[in-house]
Chains A and B, each alone.
Chain A
Amino acid sequence: MPNTTIFSAKKIITMNPSRPEASHVAVRDGRILGVGSLEELATWGDYTLDTRFEDKVLMPGFVEGHAHAMEGSLWAKVYCGWFDRADPNGKLWMGVKSVDAVVERLQEAEAVLEDATTPLSGWQLDPIYMDNTTVTRADLDRVSTTRAVGVLHASGHIMNVNTKALELAGMLKQGLNHPGIPLGADGFPTGELKGPEVMTPVGPFVGYERNMLDADETGLRNFAKLCVRTGTTTITDLASRMDDDAVDVMLRVTNEPNYPVRLMPFRFFMGLSAKELIVAVLAFKKRSTDRLRLGQIKIVVDGSIQGFSARLRWPGYHNGAPNGLWYIAPEHLSELLHLALEAGLQVHTHTNGDQATQLVLEKLGPALQAHPNPDHRFTLQHCQLADAAQFRTAAKLGMCVNLFANHHFYWGDEHYALTVGPDRATRMNACRTALDSGMPMAIHSDAPVTPLGPLFTAWAAVNRITASGRVQGEEERIQVHEALWAITMGAAYTLHLDGEIGSIETGKKADFAVLEVDPTACDPMLLKDIGVWGTVQGGRIFPAASL
């Protein structure tokens, strides 16, 4: 006789429209045996009643459809961000609000390092909130002159280093002529390095190796801890370079008995030709396990809006900056879409600017005519500037969208004033329009770009508050139940996992987010503050307090 556990809860929000609420859920072999009243579930035979969630609210485990496992690895470094942020062990790091405060925090970390030459690295610096103050090597020299110090910006595209780091990398010299290496009055680099190609030579000396995209073992475990703390039971790594070693590491770690999350890495398109990529990803797909879902492709079409590298349609950037960069040639994109459809592999495309989105729509149409697949669920990731016509076309093409719904909070004021101007900033990440156009929709954090936190992302989509406290785009706000759908069923659908996860429903995985407060009954402004007790994943119980 298999073991059945019946959990009682203050309330179970199932996200199953046929039975939206219940008091009990029965779990057998890691799956949901049934949802309903105790009497109904008792008809399955012997059971153990577990009342630990009696004063909690259960939801389906949250699904994060766009994050990066490197968030887990970054926490081995010193947090230098503007906003308060909780680490994998639950410690809340207060945001640092000035260059002096950044230096002070690094000094504290430096003081406990024993070896005199160990590099010190920090992350998530965002001078945009400090009136774009430039951090110099002189600032970081106050941390150490004997060890290399490097701080990565929140964008991931800029790094500040100290004099020692420049010296070790052979870059402490005059006469360098590169737009990514600002020079001081003395003709030497200021220590600010803009762009991956100038960061690479220094990276290894300051603790940032070149394969930063791939999380190490500890990083993967830390990533999972963050998931438990935020109620997340399935998460993507979008994208991974996924060489064989990286896949082996992911298989080994996710297979550990107490690994609490289902990981879905997407293979980054760069580095292989279209045909080779398809072969490689088909081979990965065969190695999938329940907790490591392999076999998807991520294509990056353009850059970022705040970095002015996204591709925009007319009238372009509000401040007159030249249009952004393509990261894939249109023919290459088209070839990949054709081949992936033919091979039955799913593709998610990063498009920030509306011109990049338009290119994907135009290339996918003919590819679908050549290789019809009514259920491809190719997904527009970020898709921040799409207008209503683009959402309508995308819906017709059978696409899904995963909008960067918390972006307004972090950069909404910048977009309004600088990058795209008031009008388009107001319609950015247009959740209302996407849903009204019939698009299957998810919302995401893009962690580590912004902190992992499905309830925070839901709060952002519902309220659209910017960092300065303005409501930006009130017409694009969505209802709480729609936002909750987006972080569960919506995201599961974009991953082709809606038959397995995303709702608390017979036959699905026993994946739950265990909440202290009912998100459907609280003030929508408090969604982000709801306490998360932990998760249940595949029937295994993970209290955040004992991670």
Chain B
Amino acid sequence: MRQDIPVIVIGGYLGAGKTTLLNHLLRHADGRKIAILVNEFGDLPIDADLIEAKDDEMIAISGGCICCSFGSDMTAALIKLAQLDSAPDYVVIEASGVAMPGAVAASISFLDGFNLGGVVVLADSERIRAQAADEYLGDTMLRQISDADLIVQTKIDLISSDVVQDVRDWLGSANPKAQVVATAQGRLPPEVILGVEMVAGQPQASAHADAGYESRVFSEIPPCDPIKLAKSLATGAVGIIRAKGFVADQAGQNWLIQIVGERFDVTLAKAKEHIAVVCIGRKGALKTGAIGVMFAGDAD
């Protein structure tokens, strides 16, 4: 039986940088087969040099990725994707600028073969606070931000570092449960957006080209209560942006833990797995000591 395909929902208003982020992701897919779902091809989100072939509904992208337009029927497009012979490793849904990404994410939950891999909402550092105060858009922007597991603060190269920090603080207070990461030109490591990569069924720590992030593998994990552990990792303010891996409970059963922001997901593993969890965070913000204590079971 195939693993559920992680689905990442990307939200944020027009101009927040979704297109730039997606193209960066495709350029650094690094063997991952990513399927990007967009409402429409119109303002084509994919850089022309990445495109290998195109028809009305699908664009083939170098490296085995695809981009599909779903018009007004996302569920039908996902069902179709799941039926492909060569199913993607990841699905990334670009929600429309006024859509509620949380509602899009909720509709993943009942689809067989898919698993929500997080809600990522982009906020334009220069404009988000004005947008949040806009008479027409304000409540929509705030609802989008509050739907996020991970907030990507974009375009930080266009403003001073003081303002970057101000906006970051504001985003953090608008949604205290989300992790906030800042970027220019969408240059984020793919595993921050997509989640920890699995190779041969095992989560992989990766060497980050971007020096701003680090991955740490924790493998000294005694049998534990998986849900309690996942919850403390996700909500314990230890700087985890994403985490994924296997732990064992007292009865010897193995569980897959997945974390993005404060969202965590614990599922029974289908077989015995190698016990280890990979955690990703910003360099300097990932509190490896505190995380180690949690894994050791001494948190309380």
The chain A residues found within 8 Å of chain B, CB to CB, are 170-171, 176-181, 195-198, 200-201, 210, 241, 268, 270-276, 311, 322-323, 325-332, 355, 359
Contact = CB atoms under 8 A, between A and B. Distances in A.
25 contacts: A178-B106, A179-B103, A180-B107, A197-B103, A197-B104, A198-B75, A198-B107, A200-B75, A200-B76, A201-B110, A270-B71, A271-B39, A271-B69, A272-B42, A273-B40, A273-B42, A273-B43, A276-B41, A276-B42, A323-B139, A328-B98, A329-B13, A329-B97, A329-B98, A331-B14
Interface string B75-88: 11001000000000
Given A273-B42, A275-B42, A276-B42, A325 B110 contact: no
Contacts of B140: 325-326
A277 to B, nearest CB: 8
B52 interface: no
A268 to B, nearest CB: 8
Contacts of B73: 196, 200, 210
Interface string B178-209: 00000000000000000000000000000000
B134 to A, nearest CB: 9
A518 to B, nearest CB: 45
A322 B75 contact: no
Interface of B: 13-14, 39-43, 69, 71-76, 79, 96-98, 100, 103-104, 106-107, 109-112, 136-137, 139-140
Contacts of A178: 106-107, 109-110
Given A180-B106, A330-B136, A210 B98 contact: no
A329 B14 CA distance: 8
A275 B98 CA distance: 19
B112 A170 contact: yes
Nearest to A329: B97
A210 B104 CA distance: 18
Contacts of B43: 273
B137 A330 contact: yes
Nearest to B70: A271
Contact of A322 (B42, B106, B107, B139): B139
Contacts of B14: 329, 331-332
Contact of A270 (B13, B39, B41, B97): B39
Contacts of B76: 200, 210
Given A197-B75, A201-B111, A271-B71, A329 B40 contact: no
B66 to A, nearest CB: 18
Given A171-B110, A200-B76, A273 B139 contact: no
Contact of B97 (A180, A268, A332): A332
B42 A197 contact: no
A181 B109 CA distance: 10
Contacts of A180: 106-107
Contacts of A274: 42
Nearest to A276: B42
Which of A268, A274, A330, A355 has the largest number of chain B CB atoms within 10 A? A330
B40 A272 contact: yes
Contacts of A196: 73
Contacts of A176: 109-110
B110 A198 contact: yes
Nearest to B75: A200
Contacts of B42: 272-276
Contacts of A323: 139
Given A272-B42, A273-B41, A201 B75 contact: yes
A177 B140 CA distance: 23
B92 to A, nearest CB: 17
Given A271-B69, A311-B136, 7 more contacts: A176-B109, A176-B110, A181-B110, A197-B104, A200-B73, A271-B39, A272-B40
